[in-house]
Amino acid sequence: MQVSSGQRRHVAGRHAALAIALGACLLAPAASAQQSSPSSAELLAPVNVTVTGSRIRGTDVETAQPVFTLDRQAIRATGLTSLRDIIARLPSAGTPEVTPQDTLSSSGDAGGRYANLRNLGAVRTLVLVNGRRWTTSLGGLTDISTIPVSIVERIEVLKDGASSIYGSDAIGGVVNIITTDRFEGATADVQYGVNGHGDGAQKNGTFTWGKSTQNASIILGASYEDGDDLRDVKRSLTASPDGPRHADSGFGMGPYGGVIDPRSPGTAYVINHAGGVVGDTANLANYHPYDVDSNADKYATTRDMTFRAGSKLRNLFGTGRYNLTDDITLRGMASYGVRDTHWQAAGYPLESGSGRGDPLVIDANNAYNPFPGYDTSFFRRLTEIPRITWAKSKTMHLDGGAEGTFQWGEHTWNWDVTYAYSEARASRTTSGNIDLDHARKALGATTTVDGRLACADAADRAAGCVPWNILAGPGGTPDAVWNYVTSTGTSHQTTRTNDVIANLTGGVLDLPAGTLRVAGGIEHRNETGRYTPYPADSAGLTTQLASAPTAGGYIANEAYVELDVPLLADLPLAHELAVNVSSRYSHYSAFGGRTNDKYSFRWKPFDDLLLRGTYAEGFRAPTVADLYAGTSESFESFLDPCDSAYGAAAGNAAVAARCVASGVPASYRQTDQSGAQINSATGGQNPNAFSAGANPALKPESSITRTAGLVYSPSQIDGLDVTLDYYKVDIEDVITPILAGDILNFCYVGNDPAYCGRFTRATNGTITSLDESLANLGSLRTEGYDLGLHYRFPVTHFGEFALLSDSTYLKDYTQVSSPGAAPRHLAGYMDGVQGLYRVRSNLSLDWSLKRFGATWTVRYFSGLNDSCWSADVECNRPEKVNALTGATGISHKGGVAFHDAQLRWQAPWNGSFRVGINNVFARKGPLFYNVSAAGGGSPPYNPAYDVDRYFYVGYQQRF
């Protein structure tokens, strides 16, 4: 909520609300700075503002939407250096679709940082910079790591639908990042932080310089951020695939050569490897039978996995303003950022089936074959060459325009015209994959040339072929072979946005209750994008997940109008009553036109109490990738409901009957990539790749947002502010890639035949193919409450104190897969990537005295429902049905609270020191077996939780 200049306690309440929500809580020092004379390096505050969520401009306009603001001093107080991490501290913020822990993702968005409001997804959270759209990826995600913290004056977060003002994507809310506008002097800021385990160090440095005169200003800035990666093996929470409670579970294909006896299909052997030493691989006597239920021949992939990707970020920024006349100002802005991210996955689990349509085999005439005369199938994880990915993103944003004022009658009008160009270029280079053509040749027939073993085909030898003893295990493959059989490929992605915007706002006429104001504007936006995969990967010639090229775009032409009408003022029980109405028409070349309206009111029955409410229509247009992306592959982890031991069929006769009727054997057991039967309700990763693709016939998602709330600042208790807001968001025609587990559950548990044609099975029940392509299906609803309690104590001899609390209660989060399908009520569940907490709450105490200050913050996450490990292990609610899977049995995990502390000292030479600890008590959150490996990162740890105690120290110098 933005309040009038005359309601200063409401302003303080608004700042306090977000400060506690983000764990910042430096309200007292911030207030003191505002009351004192600005130093030469402080910002010059504007006198006429536009509030996020409204285009109507003025110094005395209050809005009916809940808008929260975080200033730069509060940002520094978090000890965080990423805007995404700072915004994630908001209790109403969820975990985005892609996180820094997403080390198995094949998405072009991997490595970026994204914001997710109301748990509705980053694609439904609109990110603005100075009220204008920032560049997005092909998938519709805005990487906010490309916006340097050093240029941020404040962050405004609108937790309300705003499509009638801003257009597409503003369903979950709007994050508006306001950059520095006027600056005098120079400021340098450095910070260093490190995890308690001694890894994951974060190094940051920023420099900002500005010069202002009466008619002009210029600001230049640069920032550097260097974050080391975290490794799974470094800590017990992630050192084992299924966590410390099941340290011997979840192992995958092992690093030593295994073969399938061609004389007895289904019989497998593994080369002996006592003490890591391997004998003659051509002698079957050196092998032993492979036991799928034993870890002796398996491997914990977490030994080689990155838990959190490392990254480096460099940014340059410049902005300038020039008063052409007293009423016209020219302005421009330029930003360029480069982000380098790297992460590692375990070596590829190579097997005969990896050859796609043409299986890889050890040739019958290969000297290393333990079954001479037979083509022999094999399996082995290539631990010597982990798959390493380097991602580089270059983001450029340029905008220029003019703004001004003019008088129309007795009212001042504001106008602005802007042209903005954004471009994002990204590349991903991945090593450690296998060139399938070269692998076939290296595993082919051999001969002896000059006393040395060589590939039998002379043409292959001339092209570099070297025989590969795939069964030798770690250390048994020479570099010459790796150089021949491995593949390193690079893919490229480019998105461009050309945007022209014009706005006009001002007063129309004076009514008895105040001035009727209006705003209107037009926008023309052209979005284009292209993705070019490495040709060999795209053609399926390597073990890298195949994906087809993407190319396309659309044009959007939009116009809006907004009206703010004061109805009553200065009357009994009507100190103020006003309504705001806005409407926006959007026409997209991809799907046509649509209109979205919004209605809101604000009512002050008396000066201390503000009541507010909104009804807003919204939409999310399909992205370039949604419409035009080529088919891609992924290896999914899921629980098959037809599994006779852990799936829904084990306890639901109707499900079991449907499985049998579809041809699945009654005793069917799901197997993982190692060939072992799954041993818990967490399921396993499928050995066959599934496919997903775009849908050019997609239509937009539609939403309805309802909010109602109050702000109470009792005059009898100076310094107290109470905010309470109710929200409800309904989304229809959800654009979604339907994941494997959901497709299977919808088919067998939900008995929805629309999904049963999306997959095929072998005669033994194993799923051989599955289509996860996009569709407009079903609906999504979220409903809850936000509560803020903020009290600034009277000033004492011991300093100034502020006690702040901000909480969100999630009443409902319901997904419906398709019309007529049974709803899934997921509030209180761990849902793959994000936890849908019933309660998230921050409580903070801030203290300041002269040059000193301190803040203590507690961040609380309530407990979540998770899948049981098994019917009698980690299953404290065995009688309840799991809303995610449909199986019987829930494991409820308790809540957790993280404590943060910071100390500050203002030096007399215009310097300031800060030192802090996040997660002071090194708390560890509970483990969740529903955490997704693709998106979330490293199961079973929740990516929203702190993983360690984190120490940091920072210094700022003003010149």
CA pseudo-torsion sign 622, 625, 630, 632? negative
Per-residue pLDDT at 62 exceeds 70 = no
* Separation in Å, CA 97 to CA 83, 161, 805, 811: 16, 20, 28, 22
* Separation in Å, CA 60 to CA 2, 56, 607, 715: 9, 11, 15, 20
Amino acid in the structure at residue 675: G
Q: Rounded CA gap, 631 and 773, in Å?
A: 8
Say if residues 520 and 477 touch (Cβ distance below 8 Å). Answer: no
Per-residue pLDDT at 31 exceeds 60 = no
Q: Rounded CA gap, 277 and 539, in Å?
A: 38
**pLDDT digits 0-9 by tens, 717-728:** 999 999 999 999
The percentage of residues in the chain with a pLDDT greater than 90, rounded to a whole number, is: 63
State the pLDDT at residue 73.
72
Give the pLDDT band of residue 937 (cuts 50, 70, 90): low
**pLDDT digits 0-9 by tens, 794-827:** 999 999 999 999 999 999 999 987 777 789 999 9
Model pTM score? 0.85
Give the pLDDT band of residue 143 (cuts 50, 70, 90): confident
Q: Find the Cα–Cα–Cα–Cα dihedral 664, 665, 669, 671, rounded to 10°.
A: -60
Per-residue pLDDT at 41 exceeds 90 = no
Per-residue pLDDT at 5 exceeds 60 = no
Per-residue pLDDT at 923 exceeds 60 = yes
Q: Are strands 486-511 and 514-532 parallel, antiparallel or unpaired?
A: antiparallel
State the pLDDT at residue 1.
33
For residues 51-66, average pLDDT: 67
Q: Which residues contact 463 (CB under 8 A, 6 or more apart)?
A: none
Q: Which of 189-193, 290-294, 544-548 has the lowest mean pLDDT?
A: 544-548
State the pLDDT at residue 508.
93
Give the pLDDT band of residue 879 (cuts 50, 70, 90): very high
Say if residues 919 and 946 touch (Cβ distance below 8 Å). Answer: yes
Per-residue pLDDT at 64 exceeds 80 = no
- Pick the residue with more confidence: 632 or 363? 363
**pLDDT digits 0-9 by tens, 469-484:** 999 989 899 999 999 9
**pLDDT digits 0-9 by tens, 673-695:** 767 888 888 788 877 778 888 88
Amino acid in the structure at residue 221: G
CA pseudo-torsion sign 528, 533, 539, 540? negative
Give the pLDDT band of residue 58 (cuts 50, 70, 90): low
Q: 433, 389, 430, 344: which is closest to 938 by C-alpha?
A: 344
Q: Which of 169-178, 326-335, 632-641 has the lowest mean pLDDT?
A: 632-641
Helix (H, G, I), strand (E, B) or coil at 833: coil
Buried b (16+ CB within 10 A) or exposed e, 865-896: bbbbbbbeebbeeeeebbbbbbbbbbbebebb
DSSP 731: E
Helix (H, G, I), strand (E, B) or coil at 339: strand
**pLDDT digits 0-9 by tens, 736-793:** 877 888 889 889 998 888 889 889 999 999 998 898 888 898 899 999 999 999 999 9
State the pLDDT at residue 740.
87
Per-residue pLDDT at 545 exceeds 90 = no
**pLDDT digits 0-9 by tens, 421-463:** 999 999 999 999 999 999 999 999 999 999 999 999 999 999 9
Give the pLDDT band of residue 560 (cuts 50, 70, 90): very high
Kindly state the tokens that stand for 318.
Answer: 């410049």
For residues 485-506, average pLDDT: 96
State the pLDDT at residue 33.
29
State the pLDDT at residue 21.
36
For residues 154-165, average pLDDT: 89
Per-residue pLDDT at 2 exceeds 80 = no
Kindly state the tokens that stand for 1.
Answer: 């909520």
State the pLDDT at residue 598.
96
State the pLDDT at residue 47.
38
**pLDDT digits 0-9 by tens, 88-108:** 888 988 888 777 776 666 666
**pLDDT digits 0-9 by tens, 367-390:** 999 999 999 999 999 999 999 999
Per-residue pLDDT at 28 exceeds 80 = no
Instruction: Quote the distance between the C-alpha of residue 740 and its chain's center.
Output: 20
Q: Rounded CA gap, 5 and 936, in Å?
A: 43
* Separation in Å, CA 69 to CA 175, 611, 678, 901: 10, 19, 48, 21
* Separation in Å, CA 94 to CA 87, 98, 125, 824, 827: 10, 11, 11, 19, 13
**pLDDT digits 0-9 by tens, 304-354:** 998 888 889 999 999 999 999 999 999 999 999 999 999 999 999 999 988
For residues 267-288, average pLDDT: 93
Give the pLDDT band of residue 17 (cuts 50, 70, 90): very low
Burial of 294 (0-12, 13-18, 19+ CB in 10 A): exposed
Per-residue pLDDT at 419 exceeds 90 = yes
State the pLDDT at residue 239.
87
Q: Which of 77-86, 362-371, 539-548, 636-645 has the lowest mean pLDDT?
A: 77-86
**pLDDT digits 0-9 by tens, 587-625:** 999 999 999 999 999 999 999 999 999 999 999 999 999
Longest dimension (CA), the chain: 106
Q: 180, 205, 243, 227: which is closest to 85 by C-alpha?
A: 227
Buried b (16+ CB within 10 A) or exposed e, 574-587: ebbbbebebbbbbe
- Tell me the pLDDT of the chain averaged across its residues: 87
